[in-house]
Structure 1
Amino acid sequence: MWNFLARNKQVGAMLGLLSVAAVLAIILTTKGGSHAEENNGVEEPEDISPATHVFSTYSLPSNDKFMPSIGNGHIATNIFSDTVYMNGLYNGRAGYSHRARIPAWANIRLNSTLTHHPYSPVYSLDTKEGVFKVRVDRERSVVTQRIYAHRFYTRAIVNQISVDSKTHYDPNFLYQELWIAIKLMPGEESKDIAFEDPIPEIIDGRTVWSSCGQTMESEDLTYQPLPVDVCAFWTSVPDHLVVPQRGSRVFTFAMTADKNKTIARQELIKVLQEDGEELFQKHVEHWQQLYQQGGVDIEGNLELGKIVNGIWYYFLSSLPSESSFQPLDKYYGLSPTGLARGGTFEDYEGHNFWDTETWMYPSILLLYPQYANKLLQYRLDMAYVAAELAKLTGHKGYRFPWESAYTGVEVTQPCCPDVAIYEQHISGCISFAVRQYLAMTRDEEWLKHGGCDIVTNIADFWASRAVINYNTGLYDISNVMGPDEDHRNVTNSVFTNVVAGYSLYLAQYVSCLCKSYYMAKDPDHWADIAWSLALPYDEEHNYHPQFSGYHRGDKIKQADAILLGFPLQYAMNTSTRTNDLNYYESVTRENGPAMTWSMHTIGHLKLDDHRKANAIFNKSYEGFVREPFKVWTELRRPDVGAANFFTGMGGFLQALIFGYAGISIHMDRLEIDKPRLPPDATKFIIRGIKYLGANLTLELQANSTKLSVTSLDDNWRLLLNDGKYNITLAPGVTVILPGTGPFTIRSEQWKDCKLPSDIIGQNYLRPIGT
């Protein structure tokens, strides 16, 4: 993926939990009365909450890009933004396709948060309730605003303003009512959707407005001959809310949006019929069901604990709900800045890249395999377009575009044609994601409904890309670009060739799994090509050059060859992996994207260099996480690039889960090797690991590692080997894991099919070893 610089080159919630004394203590201990910290000359508000799941502040970021988002996988917005985005709603032809802007008829502001005011608001994001809160302690009342994208009523963004009058009031006060000034700020008309003039109607005594329209321009006339319809409904918003002086009241306002007018209207009616508190509690219950399924908990290091909770909150905000009032629309993937962003050039326009499968997907798969399935389903849905792209470029099988959106065609900006032409490794990354999915789930139904087809067709693409070199006797793949986008149109990109080889081997394996219902063409031919693919290796320096002809010392943009060690887990000598890590660390430019150093962290942890791993781990997030709402930026402070950068978040999660926790996914086992605590943590828990239908929890403390079993799938009997004994796992069992491992969890072989060999280039060009 190419960052913004490269492209241009071509405390409401917290206060509810704390006592007044505790809040006063926080205020009094804040240095100099200021609630901002200085970072390279840029002030950022402080997060004042002591809770790992709540981010609270007295002032909002000066840069709107650092504002948090709310979302439910169908609809999303940044807090106090004038823009709402919807899953699968794009506007613009081909490379100009971007998320289509819906005016934010849900953007309601308290006047006390817009101007200088004697009352100091507290702003809070509660990641476990999925809600943003504003609390204003006024002279005669406490006003709390809750803003959330409802997790069950998925077409709705809800604003609730509660006004609670104080019991101690001045009896001589002239007015007997409380007036709370508010303002609806939807922004200008959309340039992406031709909305009709809003139409009012009365529903259950309330004035409701609606407007429908169509996107201005189709992404591709072949696959999208007609524009997309969209309708929005929203409640009328007065200038003031009025409450009796001694009373209290909750006011509920809502906006709904959908491609279907009837669905949007029915959803709004249902939301308005709900009791205000019951409406909110229903939303919270659905959020908490997600948190109960899995999570990563860190104790002892509050900063890391908060960052992790923020990542899962933002991920889940962009993933679809598991149950909803209305049937869910088709899901259109997880883009580098999530569903709440993507209307602009610098936020990658809501497109799907390799970022999804390589950076975000692995951690999601481990805890939420149902969402991994949906991410793969997006690729399956677009496979017929990938087949056409392969044909257009003179190849067989499926070639997936570097960027895709609504139709699945290539939508990379015209500014940068090279990435669209050469960065073909995305097809191999999709196949590698399938490999991980099958290893974790053994989902045969998925294979039957497209999985066999996508694996074998990606292999056909790579088989048609590989050309025999009669001088070496090996197959070359030329005219490509690896993850390092500073070098383009190269031959035998080491990363590309390995993911291509893995794709070919996986097709041979899957052809065995699918043989009773899917006929593959000569599956051994794929393995023969994989075995004979060239793999660049420098014997003198005992390392992997990025590609054939790479000049040692050339600077690179980001992690590339070191990805062989992880996530690809390609077998090599320890000395080779050490040299790969040390060399590429020295030539990676400092202004690269956030995720690079997470892979270096995992590499050094695997090599038992804990001191260096900890130092690089700090480098993987420091300067990329912006306070107070833990919004990630693509580039290190003071640069920004894309925000909120899910790709960097995904790398960070992998450093924790696959690095410090030592978990690794293999076709025949789940492995835990050399688990250890992250820096300054006293406890590290990964809840809800889903392996072959089992629900497992891994808990690390300074002197102990425990694996607990919540449930098992009756179809798969699991054995844990602790290095000495085989232990049959059963629900309720907790096993103390001695030493550092490796510990393996296995089931019986699947369908008596031989596992992929995964040996690339016959190892002529590198030393053999593990």
Structure 2
Amino acid sequence: MWNFLARNKQVAAMLGLLAAAALVVIFLTTRGGGHTVVEKFMDEIEDISDEAHIFSTLSLPSDDRFMPSVGNGHIATNVFSDTVYMNGLYNGRKGESHRARIPAWANIRLKSTLTNHPYSPVYSLDTKHGVFQVTVDRDRSVVTQRIFAHKFYTRTIVNQIQVVPKTHADPNFVHHEIWIAISQMAGPDSKDIAFESPIPEIIDDTIVWKACGKTKETEDPVYQPLPVDVCAYWTSVPDHLVVPHFRSRVFTFVMTVDKNETVARQEFVKILQEDGEELFEKHVERWLKLYQQGGMEIEGHLELAKIVHGIWYYFMSSLPSEGTHLPADKFFGLSPTGLARGGTFDDYEGHNFWDTEIWMFPSILLLYPRYAHALLQYRLDNVYVAAELAKLTGNKGYRFPWESAYTGSEVTQPCCPEVAEFEQHITGCIAFAARQYLAMTRDENWLKHGGCSIVTNIADFWASRAVINYTTGLYDIENVMGPDEDHSNITNSVFTNVVAGYSLYLAQYVSCLCKSYYMAKSPDHWADIAWSLAMPYDETLNYHPQFQDYKRGDFIKQADAVLLGFPLQYPMNISTRANDLTYYETVTRSNGPAMTWSMHSIGQLDIEENLKAAKLFNKSYEGYVREPFKVWSELRRPRVGAVNFLTGMGGFLQTLMFGYAGLRIHLDRLEVNRPQLPPEATRFRIKGIKYLGSNLTLDIGIMETTLTVSSIDANWPLTMNNGRYNVTLVPGLTVTLSGSGPFTIRSLPWKNCKLPADTIGQNYLRPIGL
């Protein structure tokens, strides 16, 4: 394991010259509700690895925001930063709530990487093994540092330093001990947590340190009357490591942290009993298991393959581990910049937005439905807060806040009250995620333990928000803001009305699924409202105005009306879809967030404009992915916005999975429609698609596309139409897909419940869908 990053010295010397600083440009940028950031832009560093899952460099980014993170869903840190963040640990009242900073007692640096030594360190991120590595080839030794957030011992961040002496060719050479200088760089005291002064302890003959404290301010006095306890343990770190000249040695330094002091200590004691190499192997084993369960492989386009590996790595670093040493803590969701960030306004403070359900959730659901379940569980855990918010705003059911964190209450910054007030579509987005989850899993247990209730209460909210317009005879939804945050307090946002209508129809469907154990209130009434919701449509121009009274030519922030085609799959004529795409591309401002162009690319693929789709596909990631560690920014270079932008990553994955692979989720089927290779790729493989308990692999090549079945759930037998005839899917079978499809995979009807009509807006004749 230690030697997988050896590099050619000539390449090192050449690339070291190329790492010189270039022109510095300073830009001011904003996202939506005033998120501001300044970037000192310099030429990016090159990734010199030719392996898809390893990112290697001889120089670190000049901007440390583009350093990678290590995390395991419980704790995370950016490599070499002075900050550790923990799942569910926030400080600050309401709109000031943000992830609480823990000093990085795990931040240990080799001094040879901090000063102008005559060595050329190689820095690498291994996304399959979940480890950051530094290798320094010195005169008398090779020193390798591994940094990782343990995937099994999830309260733990580990630093391991291996020193391997070199054999000297001169027999007269005088051997001395090898000294390696190191520094612990924990940073200043936390402003968020009132830690007591660290105290030393001796555990198993090892000097360790402990610091415990409490967060300084609770998020909401009603839902969180008391601060949160935090306790950390870490090993003592000397100034130098001393190694005999004749043998190698591995030094292991660990930091554990938890809200429970006993848990943090138990984990720490267990770690001290582990052999250093076995400790690492247990971590690697968990990461490899994730890659065995699912993943995406691209051949013929190394850059694209690396980006995909990076995205899944950053996702998995913020999602909870499966099978941990001690029971996992409650999960508090995915924020737009992941678990390793969130202490500042620029990083969205670790809050949850619609980003989770619309942008990250679908791809995660396809390969890792248990993580999709965990994301929905965060919403279920906070329904009592959503019920109170609906009541406070004069509505029924559940209204979820635009931003939420520890308590589930509204934590949008004081700067942006209109966002918190009007951007209500998040409640419909949560129902849409539930719809997709039920379509892919038919999880009866989830329905029984909150699913029935959350779906029907969201429908009650939208039913109370829709007001009959006696002039048109249709229901209006007023005082909202769509995904385009440049227009607030509008009426009949097309995106909002469709997700609201889908929510109402879904409740009607779920009331049938749940009727043996859950009594729904008025399922037909929900459908009646959905059927009669107003739906802006311009018959002359054959396109969807973004909202009622939208002025054609007004610029917008990001994808909004185009989301009707995907992900909402709202039926419309191909000409209407094409007009929506063409028009909104011309009025979307250039400094919008990353995920917009992913949706435009999917749309162009749907209407078979493949050249245009490829151009937009390239636009969806070029300038957003920062080298050498494939860290995404919210905005295209030279602007920055939020960093490690999981939202943009999620949109990009959807372009691959739902655009080029052509996958489509429906309540009664899974479709593969016009599967094709991404630009320049020679093979595209999605392994571990989980549909109704089955495990499938879609393999798209130059000459043919196949679907391979690894396993089938006996409760849900599957049949597939391969373009010619129906095939019963059984384990071990490989089906060749002939033609462009759609290729449909179906199972038995679910409880013989009638599928929702999903017809919204009777103010114009519904055309036949795509």
Please, what TM-score do these two structures have when normalized by structure 1?
Answer: 0.96
TM-fit CA distance, 1:331: 0.1
What is the distance in 2 between the residues matched to 1:742 and 1:406?
Answer: 43
Partner amino acid for 1:258?
Answer: D
The residue matched to 2:385 in structure 1 has which SS? helix
Q: Is the 8 A contact 1:397 1:458 kept in 2?
A: yes
The residue matched to 2:154 in structure 1 has which SS? coil
Partner amino acid for 1:447?
Answer: L
The residue matched to 1:761 in structure 2 has which SS? coil
TM-fit CA distance, 1:411: 0.1
Correspondence for 1:159? 159
TM-fit CA distance, 1:16: 2.5
Correspondence for 2:260? 260
Correspondence for 1:312? 312
Correspondence for 2:354? 354
Q: Is the 8 A contact 1:719 1:747 kept in 2?
A: yes
Correspondence for 2:92? 92
What is the distance in 2 between the residues matched to 1:38 and 1:571?
Answer: 50
Correspondence for 1:249? 249
The gaps in structure 2 that reach 5 residues or longer are 26-40
The answer to whether structure 1 residue 758 and structure 2 residue 745 are counterparts is no
TM-fit CA distance, 1:59: 0.6
- Residues 37 and 766 of structure 1, relative CA distance in 2, 3 Å threshold: farther
The residue matched to 2:178 in structure 1 has which SS? strand
Q: Is the 8 A contact 1:698 1:706 kept in 2?
A: yes
- Residues 382 and 32 of structure 1, relative CA distance in 2, 3 Å threshold: closer
Q: Is the 8 A contact 1:538 1:766 kept in 2?
A: no
Correspondence for 2:374? 374
TM-fit CA distance, 1:739: 1.1
Correspondence for 1:213? 213
Q: Is the 8 A contact 1:539 1:766 kept in 2?
A: no
Correspondence for 1:562? 562
Correspondence for 1:517? 517
Partner amino acid for 1:34?
Answer: L
The answer to whether structure 1 residue 495 and structure 2 residue 495 are counterparts is yes
Superposed CA deviations along residues 710-754 of structure 1, whole A, max 9, x for unmatched, are 011110010001232110000000001011111000001100000
The gaps in structure 1 that reach 5 residues or longer are 1-12
TM-fit CA distance, 1:687: 0.3
The residue matched to 1:727 in structure 2 has which SS? strand
Superposed CA deviations along residues 368-408 of structure 1, whole A, max 9, x for unmatched, are 00000000000000000000000000000000000000000
What is the distance in 2 between the residues matched to 1:215 and 1:284?
Answer: 33
What is the distance in 1 between the residues matched to 2:652 and 2:367?
Answer: 16
The residue matched to 2:459 in structure 1 has which SS? helix
The residue matched to 1:17 in structure 2 has which SS? coil
The answer to whether structure 1 residue 16 and structure 2 residue 3 are counterparts is yes
Correspondence for 1:572? 572
What is the distance in 1 between the residues matched to 2:292 and 2:637?
Answer: 34
What is the distance in 2 between the residues matched to 1:538 and 1:26?
Answer: 59
What is the distance in 1 between the residues matched to 2:655 and 2:180?
Answer: 47
What is the distance in 1 between the residues matched to 2:603 and 2:458?
Answer: 28
What is the distance in 1 between the residues matched to 2:384 and 2:183?
Answer: 47
Q: Is the 8 A contact 2:459 2:503 kept in 1?
A: yes
Correspondence for 1:364? 364
Residue 34 (structure 1) aligned to one of 3, 13, 18: 18
Correspondence for 2:32? none
Partner amino acid for 2:724?
Answer: K
Correspondence for 1:715? 715
What is the distance in 1 between the residues matched to 2:5 and 2:281?
Answer: 20
The residue matched to 2:650 in structure 1 has which SS? helix
Partner amino acid for 1:155?
Answer: R
Partner amino acid for 1:203?
Answer: I
TM-fit CA distance, 1:763: 5.2
Query: Map of 1:320-335 to 2, 5 A cutoff?
Result: 320-335=320-335
Q: Is the 8 A contact 1:428 1:503 kept in 2?
A: yes
Q: Is the 8 A contact 1:37 1:45 kept in 2?
A: no
Superposed CA deviations along residues 461-498 of structure 1, whole A, max 9, x for unmatched, are 00000000000000000000000000000000000000
TM-fit CA distance, 1:703: 1.2
Query: Map of 1:389-538 to 2, 5 A cutoff?
Result: 389-538=389-538
What is the distance in 1 between the residues matched to 2:761 and 2:628?
Answer: 49
What is the distance in 2 between the residues matched to 1:601 and 1:106?
Answer: 42
TM-fit CA distance, 1:665: 0.3
TM-fit CA distance, 1:32: 8.3
Query: Map of 1:595-614 to 2, 5 A cutoff?
Result: 595-614=595-614
Partner amino acid for 2:470?
Answer: Y
Q: Is the 8 A contact 1:36 1:45 kept in 2?
A: no
Partner amino acid for 1:197?
Answer: S
The residue matched to 2:582 in structure 1 has which SS? helix
TM-fit CA distance, 1:31: 6.3
What is the distance in 2 between the residues matched to 1:242 and 1:165?
Answer: 11
Correspondence for 1:102? 102
Correspondence for 1:117? 117
Partner amino acid for 2:256?
Answer: T
Correspondence for 2:191? 191
- Residues 587 and 83 of structure 1, relative CA distance in 2, 3 Å threshold: same
The residue matched to 1:45 in structure 2 has which SS? coil
The answer to whether structure 1 residue 69 and structure 2 residue 69 are counterparts is yes
- Residues 210 and 32 of structure 1, relative CA distance in 2, 3 Å threshold: closer
TM-fit CA distance, 1:35: 4.2
TM-fit CA distance, 1:205: 1.3
Superposed CA deviations along residues 666-723 of structure 1, whole A, max 9, x for unmatched, are 0000000000000100000000000000000000011100000001111001000123
Superposed CA deviations along residues 545-581 of structure 1, whole A, max 9, x for unmatched, are 0000000000000000000000000000000000000
- Residues 189 and 456 of structure 1, relative CA distance in 2, 3 Å threshold: same
Correspondence for 1:227? 227
What is the aligned length? 754
What is the distance in 1 between the residues matched to 2:76 and 2:12?
Answer: 33
Partner amino acid for 1:734?
Answer: T
Partner amino acid for 1:448?
Answer: K
Q: Is the 8 A contact 2:505 2:757 kept in 1?
A: yes
Correspondence for 1:591? 591
Partner amino acid for 2:300?
Answer: G
TM-fit CA distance, 1:86: 0.2
What is the distance in 1 between the residues matched to 2:734 and 2:477?
Answer: 48
What is the distance in 2 between the residues matched to 1:746 and 1:581?
Answer: 31
- Residues 19 and 644 of structure 1, relative CA distance in 2, 3 Å threshold: closer
What is the distance in 2 between the residues matched to 1:36 and 1:720?
Answer: 56
- Residues 399 and 290 of structure 1, relative CA distance in 2, 3 Å threshold: same
Correspondence for 1:657? 657
TM-fit CA distance, 1:27: 3.8
Partner amino acid for 2:761?
Answer: G
Superposed CA deviations along residues 610-641 of structure 1, whole A, max 9, x for unmatched, are 00000000000000000000000001101111
Correspondence for 2:132? 132
Q: Is the 8 A contact 1:535 1:765 kept in 2?
A: no
TM-fit CA distance, 1:764: 2.0
What is the distance in 1 between the residues matched to 2:292 and 2:768?
Answer: 44
Q: Is the 8 A contact 2:16 2:58 kept in 1?
A: no
Superposed CA deviations along residues 246-296 of structure 1, whole A, max 9, x for unmatched, are 211000000000000011011011111100000000000011000100001
Partner amino acid for 1:149?
Answer: A
The residue matched to 1:759 in structure 2 has which SS? coil
The residue matched to 1:194 in structure 2 has which SS? strand
TM-fit CA distance, 1:42: 2.2
Q: Is the 8 A contact 1:604 1:613 kept in 2?
A: yes
Partner amino acid for 1:365?
Answer: L
- Residues 83 and 484 of structure 1, relative CA distance in 2, 3 Å threshold: same
TM-fit CA distance, 1:167: 1.0
**Which moves more between the two structures, 41-50 or 627-636?**
41-50
What is the distance in 1 between the residues matched to 2:415 and 2:765?
Answer: 37
TM-fit CA distance, 1:412: 0.1
What is the distance in 1 between the residues matched to 2:136 and 2:294?
Answer: 34
Q: Is the 8 A contact 1:705 1:737 kept in 2?
A: yes
The residue matched to 2:44 in structure 1 has which SS? strand
Partner amino acid for 1:646?
Answer: L
TM-fit CA distance, 1:17: 3.1
Percent identical residues? 75
